[in-house]
Copies of this chain bind each other. A is one copy, B any other.
Amino acid sequence: MATRTAIKVSARERLLEAADELFYQQGVQTVGIDRVIEHAGVAKASLYNTFGSKEGLVCAYLEQRFERARSRIIRTLTRFRTPREQILGVFDALGEAFTDPGYNGCAFVRASAETAEDSAIRRTAEHYRSWVRELFTELATTCGYAEPEELARQLLLLYDGAGQAARMDRDPSAATTARGAAAALLDAAPIVG
């Protein structure tokens, strides 16, 4: 092996892990650089050499979250065959995430809420958001619904709302509630032809 990565974890990886824990639990504004490097056991210079700035670290943290969320959802989708089951499966994946005792809401929504209008952080959050929307749109199109975009928008409302409720009410069953509502919307939506 080239650089014994199995034994010694790189500063980059330790920083990302610490950022994930601290930023997600306590918020990207509340947590300072010093807390992150202390938790990671890494020198401050390493952080600035690797990520350039705090904003760079926050974006890397969000991108890592995005990759994980995406692979979790895609993995769930493979368990179902029909697009209708797959749409509802997205809410199952959400429910899985909610059962994590450390669940603290959608990382992208929260980071965006803490950040100014035109930042790179906002753009990263929007990237995730449009991915979910397009996923719903594709699945709804495959189902043969007459207005897949509008249906996808409705499903996204449930998706967002479930994350909100799970956090603010500390109630993981919000995913089940959202799943039930989604099923009702799918039943009610007009099919093409």
- State the A residues within 8 Å of B (CB): 26-27, 29-30, 105, 109-110, 112-116, 125-126, 129, 150, 153-154, 156-162, 164-165, 168-169, 174, 177-178, 180-181, 184-185, 187-189
In the complex, A34 Cα to B177 Cα: how many Å?
A: 44
Partner of A168, one of B109, B116, B189: B109
Contact of B161 with A157 in the complex, beta carbons under 8 Å: yes
Contact of B164 with A178 in the complex, beta carbons under 8 Å: no
* 15 contacts across the A-B interface (CB closer than 8 A): A27-B113, A112-B168, A129-B169, A150-B180, A153-B174, A153-B177, A154-B178, A158-B161, A158-B181, A159-B161, A160-B164, A160-B165, A161-B164, A184-B188, A184-B189
